[in-house]
Each structure stands twice: as structure tokens, then as C-alpha cells.
Structure 1
Amino acid sequence: MFNAFEEIGGGGGSGWAAHVVDQKWAHFTAEDHETWDILYARQTALLDGLIVERFFDGLAALGLGDGGIPELGALNARLLPLTGWRCVAVAGLVPDDSFFAMLAARVFPIGNFIRTRAQLDYLEEPDCFHDIYGHVPMLADKGVADAMQRFGETGVRAIAQGQGDKVARLYWHTIEFGLVRENGAVRILGAGLASSFGEAAKSLDDPAIERRRFTPESAVATAYRHDAMQPLYLVADDMGAVVAALRGPLP
């Protein structure tokens, strides 16, 4: 079975590999696994008809509802043959330069912890449920997976050129909290919404929330909140517009 921690030398060395840790899957408690199952069941029911179709395709392909927190070796055994991406465990947030270098290498960081029962509805710091449930299903789609790698390369260059704020905003307004039109309706795209029971439906139907048309230019110019539910979302015309933005140069 593939073990990302062992493959890169246990997380040592330089660059992004220094942030990789052992998932320590055996250390998750029965309550941790039950928390995952609660989150998975209610979020999947909530998102029916609210999220892009590729998300549910990814859920099915990766078997994320098989029960309990996924072990990353088993998850990678399904993901790698589909798109060449793999997941590695990290202890918390990864610095932007290392994060985008990971994306450029087709590696996605997964927090090695899960929220408590008191945090079911909202969590500021991303845990393994946000990282796996919110992000990984879309990495099973070849078009999105390829665009994410290109975006990682763009992010590395942007940070080196002092444009980290631009690439962070484009990522936020697409991959994390983006909305997109699909089959005549506005649908959820972003992982921050896909994994949030409190914010997913509000993003689509709360009349107090502002929704503007997405363009790469508007995304890099629009600030965001990382510590609260969003007062503003950008809505892409279709998935093609999102993929093109991720694959293209920064405005």
C-alpha cells in the first residue's frame, strides 16, 4: 500500500516535505471516526442538488463514505491511478510557498486531526474532514486535477515575485469558496462551502449575502474573511471559466 510519509523520507529534508508528518491513523478514537461519519452523512444529504456534479462523482470514485476517517494510504491507492495526485498528512496550516509547491507536485496536504463534536457546524482551522471531504473529490476529476497542478506552479512563481496576495485571493474565490453556474443554477464549488454545514446553504440562498460574477481580475482584487462566514461570493459562469482561470497566468 502507498505510504506518502515513507516515500518522502518521513517528512524530513527541505521545502514542502519538511511539513509532512505521519497521519497516525491508529490514534484516531472511536469518537473521532463517529464524528467523521456524522459529518459525512449530514453534509452529503445537505449538498444533494447544491454542489457541482463532479463532486459526487469524486465521492463515489474514492469511497469516502465507506466508514470512518479515511486512511491516506488507502485513499491514495484510489486517487493516484485516477489523476496522479496523492495526499499527505500535515500537523496544521502549511505556509503559502510550501502549499503551492505541494500543489505543483500533485500533492495535497491533509490535517492529521478532526474537529470536536462542539465544532460540527463551523471550524476556522481546516481539519481532515475539510481537507479530505471538501477538496479531494474534485482532485479525482482529471480536468480539475490538471488545472490545480498548473495553479500550484503559478502560485510558486507569484510568491517569488511578491504577488502572494493575488494568488491567495484567486484560490480563495474558486477552490475554497467559489460558486459556479451549472445546469442553469448556481452551485457550490469551493471546499470551504462543501465541508461546512453552517455555510453551504447560506451561500446560495441568504439574501443578505452579495454574489458577484467571477472573473480572474475580480478575484485577485477582492479581499476575503478567513475568520468568519463570507459576506460575498464570486460566481463563475461555468466550470470551464474556473479551470481556465486556474490554468492561466495571474491577471
Structure 2
Amino acid sequence: MTGNIPVHLQPYISKQYYQQYSPIDHAVWRFVMKQNHYFLKDIAHPAYVNGLKDSGIKTESIPKVEDMDTSLEKVGWGAVTIDGLIPGSAFYGFLASRILPIATEIRNIHNIAYTPAPDMIHEAAGHAPILLDESYREFVKKIGEMGAKALSSKEKLEVFMAVRHLTIVAEDPNSTPEEVKEAEKQVAEARTKVKGLTEADQVSRLFWWTVEYGLIGELDNPKIYGAGLLSSVGESQSCLKDDVRKIPFSVEECTKTPYDVTKPQPQLFVCQTFEDLVAAVDQFAAKMAFRKGGTESLDKALLTDSVATMVFSSGLQVTGTLGTILKDKYGEAIYFRTKGPTALSHDNRQLDGHGKEIHRKGFGTPIGCLKGNIALEDCSVEQLQDLGIKEQKVAKLKFQSGVKVKGNVKSILLADGKPILISFKDCKVTYKGKLLFEPSWGTFDMAVGANVTSVFAGAADPNNYYAIPSGDEAVEKVEQQGWNELETLYGEIRSLREGSEWDEQRVTQVLVSLEEKYPKEWLLRLEILELYKLNHVDHPQIVLIEERLQTTVWDSSVKQMIQRGLTLINNSQ
């Protein structure tokens, strides 16, 4: 899939260093997957249950992303490896391109029930299987397209960076409680600077309450389809209890409801069908800047302080960071200027001679009709000439807004026989005595358009606007690390399970090491118990291990995992 990935998304792609997964990592994966296969078969949507069987994702070991890519390829999708939490616009950009971005880290055993950090279990066990359903795929692609174009704010970007740092610290087994608390403090401080709800916030909430935490079917007997629930061993079952409020799905309610990634959700939204979701997001998209355009949308782009694309009614697309908006007495935008590198495009293709290197210091242009309510984009070449707009001739343009443009017409760029860009030399642009452009600044390229019909985050032609990543970087080689003692013990049990012969002596040696050095290692004891029940159902160690697991004082979440592990073992014989 990497050959089809837009340039601006390629920097987020990383590698899956498969040999770096430890035997404990594989044991964590195996535990969650076995739980999913057993407990979710009756409470998850059939699309997930069937997808889990058809996806080829194995229970016994962490999957390779390249294998998942092959599995999704048969339905027109793909999968790539990413490095943890990435910006929302990039994440949605992958989905819009029909690519599932997969964070290849895997939660540590202490967070086996749930982790706020994206990981292999969440992506592979949560998202991937249900993508094999056609209606669901359509919904995810649509919400990806919305999210990729949604406008955010610079304050929100600061929140993202703080949250990303928190997820890294929280998942790092070497982090101290003080470091986690400091990271949480940074998130809280960043959030205090945020004012209002951006489009990106609304899409994020909609995504959370559907793709991540959605329920489907009847309100009093729903099924799970959200990946966050499907990949959470704990919440996948507790979410269906009566103390979690079930609310009929609506876009309005979802976008008004905030969420906390660190806690179980107190309420969930229930849609009836995936087709209902598709229709609902289409209605919501109609209210977004990329569909509405106008001054309101320009104002939103100004707040982002990031690259956005402004589309004129002529079809001309201006990509850059919006710097200033000039408005008339009615509050309507009549002129805007970008700051920094700007590119001009049409039909999502950059215009020759109008890339960032030409407009490296920004781009300014009027918006609106000429006096007499004349929309230049509706004019033929002959009509332009009647207005005095002819190459190598001086033209004087007076806009209804009061903006005046006077200069020698250098060229007129047409698309389908109609103008989209008029370039002037020796040009002066003014508004009520205020100088907007002077001749010494060079060529004045004026966008043609009575109004701005669309504004969206990112570039019209990302493959040309963004720098192409270097392809000659040295490939990092990572040697398989040596496992510590506990990891080696897990590896021993895995080897015995996958081998053809039962070796009681080796199992006993592992148990002795556990008793001497690792009294709180519950998952490996469950794996040993499973081996005994498969190979020596009357062995006295079975009772001893069960007693140890049930009488030791555990944290409530660990106790819950142990009980579910025992239930699965006892019902799998």
C-alpha cells in the first residue's frame, strides 16, 4: 500500500520490528484474543464476529502488519504501520485513503484490560476485523474524509501533543507516578487554553462515540461494534450492563458529549444500522466548512494557524496558512492573505508556475463580484475583453466591496473556457485608501471567484505541496534483544504449548521459579494451568494453581482478568 499513500502521510509511517516483541507481549495478545473469541461471539455485532474469523488474524501470536495489509487488500483497503498516536488530520487522512493505520506497540500486562494509548490489540483486534463489512467500511471512509478536512485550532494541537506525551509516559513501565502526574498536569493546562468547539473536536467526538465506542441494534439489547470496546477485555462486557446509560444515536448528541480516554464511558450511543450512520454523517458534513464555504469558514481557518485550502467559485484552490481577512461593514470577507508558502491548484492539481517557491511569502486576493454584480468566473474571453480585461492591456477593476485593482494584464488562466486566475504586472490594489498590493512587489496573481465555496484543512494537492520524504535513508536494523528471566519463562511455556510433546519437568521448573521470584505473575500461571488441563487433567498442581490465583490479594482489575481467564479455561476443555 505504501506506493499509494499520499506524500503528507508518509512521514507518519514506521516499521514493525517484529523480533522485538517479547514472549510476554505475545502472551498478552493471546490472552486478549482468546477472550474476544470466547466472550464476544454473542455480544458483538455479527460483522465483527465474522470478520474475526475471516481476517486471518491469529490468536497465538501478534500479527504482522504486512499480513493484515494483504487481508484487507481483498476489500480494497490496506494497512500500514505508524508510530503511536498521530495527529487527527493524519489519522483521518489514512482512513479517507482506505488505509488502516496500525500502532505496533502492545500494551504491557499491567494495562491488559485497557490502555488509552493506541496499540496492536486496539488496531488489529478492534478495528481490522469489522472493516471486512462493506457498510461499515463506507462509514469509516466517510468519517475519515470529514476528519481529514475538519478545521481545528492551534490550541487543540497543543492539547494533542500533551495527550501524546501522556500516553507514552503512561504506557512506559519505567515511568514513575510523579512523571505520570506531571504529564496529566500538562494535558490539563493545555486544555484550559482551548476555547469553543472546533470542527475537528466534533468529528473526534463523533468518531469516538461510533467507531471507537459504538453500539448497534435495539436500545434494550444492543451489540458492540466500537473498536475501543472490542479491544477492552474489561469494558467489552461491563458496557452492556444497566449502569451504563444507552442513548439513541444522533450526530447532535454525539458531538455535544465529551469523553475521557482514561475512564470507562458512563453512556454509549446506539444506532440501528451502519446505513443510518452513513446517512447521519452526510447530513453533518453539510454543515462543515468544506461544504459551506463563506466568511464563517474563513474565520475558522484563520483560527487554525495551519495549512488550509480555500476554494473559489471558479474552482481555483489556494493552499496556505491564512494570515489576515479583510471584511466589509457587514462583516463579509472581501480580501484575504495567506502567510508563508502558498500554492494554487485547480481540480486538486497544482498549477504550473504557482507552487510554494513562487508564492513563498504568501498570497493575497479579493473575493466577490465586480460592480454591476458581475461574476468574472462566468465570463467568456469575449466578455472579459468587453470589461477591458485583455492580455498586455491595462485593466481597471472595481469590486462591489470597494476593492480596486489596476494593472497590466500579464496572463489569463482559463479552465473549461472560463477564467480562474488573472495575473497583473505593475499592479496596485487598494481598499478605501488602504494599500493591499503595490507594483514593486512583483506580479499580482488574482484569484477569480465571486465567493469562497469551500475551506478545508490541508492541501488541495498534497503530493506537490508537501516535501517528498527522502527515499535513501539508511534502513535501521534492530537485532533481537535478549529476554530477561521472566520473559524467558513465558517463552518456555509458549514453546511447550506449541510443541508436540508434554514435558512435565520443564513446567515444574517454571512453576518453581514463579513461586520463588514472581508471586504476582498471574498470566503465566493461567497459561501453565491451561497446559496442565490439556495434558494432565488430574495433576495435583491444577488445584494448587487455582487456589493460588483465587486466594492471592489482587487489584480489582487483575482479579477480573483472572476470573475471566479461569472461565475460559474451564469452558474450553
Normalising by the residue count of structure 2, what TM-score does the alignment of the two structures yield?
0.40
- Which amino acid counterpart does residue 263 of structure 2 have in structure 1? A
- For 1:244 and 1:59, the matched residues in 2 are separated by 26
* Aligned-pair identity (%): 28
**Any residues of structure 2 matched to 1:95-106 within 5 Å, and which?**
95-106=87-98
8 Å Cα contact 1:148/1:247 also seen in 2 = no
Instruction: Give me the whole-angstrom Cα distance separating, in 2, the residues matched to 1:201 and 1:16.
Output: 36
Residue 224 of structure 2 is matched in structure 1 by 188
Aligned to 1:243: 278
Equivalent of residue 171 in structure 1, options 207, 227, 231: 207
Is 1:234 aligned to residue 277 of structure 2? no
Equivalent of 1:20 in 4, 13, 24: 13
* Of 231-240 and 158-167, the range deviating more from structure 2: 158-167
Mapping for residues 99-114 of structure 1, pairs under 5 Å = 99-114=91-106
* Change in CA separation of 1:208 and 1:231 when aligned onto 2, cut-off 3 Å: same
Partner Cα separation in structure 2 for residue 231 and residue 21 of structure 1: 35
Distance 2:135 2:247 in 1: 25
Distance 2:236 2:76 in 1: 29
Match of 2:246 in 1: 211
Deviates more, 1:129-138 or 1:24-33: 24-33
The counterpart of 1:78, out of the listed 67, 71, 74, is 71
Mapped contact 1:179–1:190 kept (Cα < 8 A): yes
Question: How far 1:208 sits from its partner (Å)?
Answer: 2.4
Q: Distance in 2 between matches of 1:139 and 1:226?
A: 23
1:197 aligns with 2:189: no
Shift of 1:30: 2.4
1:123 aligns with 2:136: no
The one-letter amino acid of 1:35's match is V
Deviations 1:161-201 (A, max 9, x none): 95101111110110000111169831111000001111111
Match of 1:157 in 2: 149
1:225 pairs, out of 260, 268, 274, with: 260
Aligned-partner Cα distance in 2 for 1:88–1:182: 35
1:64 to partner: Cα distance: 1.3
Name the CA shift for 1:152/1:84 in 2 (closer, same or farther; >3 Å): same
Matches within 5 A, 1:27-38: 27-38=20-31
Instruction: Report the counterpart of residue 54 of structure 2 in structure 1.
Output: 61
Structure 1 residues 246 and 88: alpha-carbon distance in aligned structure 2, compared to 1, 3 A threshold: farther
CA deviation after TM superposition for structure 1 residue 26, in Å: 2.5
Deviation sequence 1:119-168 (CA, Å, 0-9, x none):
21121212100111100111111221122112211112223695101111
In 2, the alpha carbon distance for the partners of 1:183 and 1:221 equals 20
Structure 2 residue ranges without an equivalent (≥5): 154-197, 288-573
Tell me, what secondary structure is at the counterpart of 2:239? helix
Query: What are the Cα deviations for residues 189-248 of structure 1, in whole angstroms up to 9, with x where unaligned?
Result: 10000011111111111x322221111121112111112111111111233222333455
> How far 1:92 sits from its partner (Å)?
0.8
Structure 1 gaps of 5+ residues are none
Q: Which one has the bigger strand percentage?
A: 2
Judge conservation of contact 2:107–2:119 (CA < 8 Å) in 1. Answer: yes
Secondary structure in 2 matching 1:159: coil
Q: What is the CA–CA distance in structure 2 between the aligned matches of 1:76 and 1:247, rounded to whole Å?
A: 28
The answer to whether the 8 Å contact 1:148/1:246 transfers is: no
* Residue pair 2:212, 2:228 contacting (<8 A) in 1 also: yes
CA distance in structure 2 between the aligned counterparts of 1:170 and 1:152, rounded to whole angstroms: 11
Contact 2:249 2:270 in 1 (8 A): yes
Quick one: which amino acid aligns to residue 237 of structure 1? Q
Amino acid at match of 1:59: L
Once the two structures are superposed, residues 84-111 of structure 1 have per-residue CA deviations (whole angstroms, 9 ceiling, x without a partner) of 1111111211101111111111111111
What number of residue pairs does the alignment pair up?
242
More helix by share: 1
Distance in 1 of aligned mates of 2:59 and 2:272: 34
2:101 alignment partner, SS class: strand
CA RMSD in angstroms comes to 2.2
Deviation string for 1:47-66 (max 9, x for gaps)? 12111000011111111135
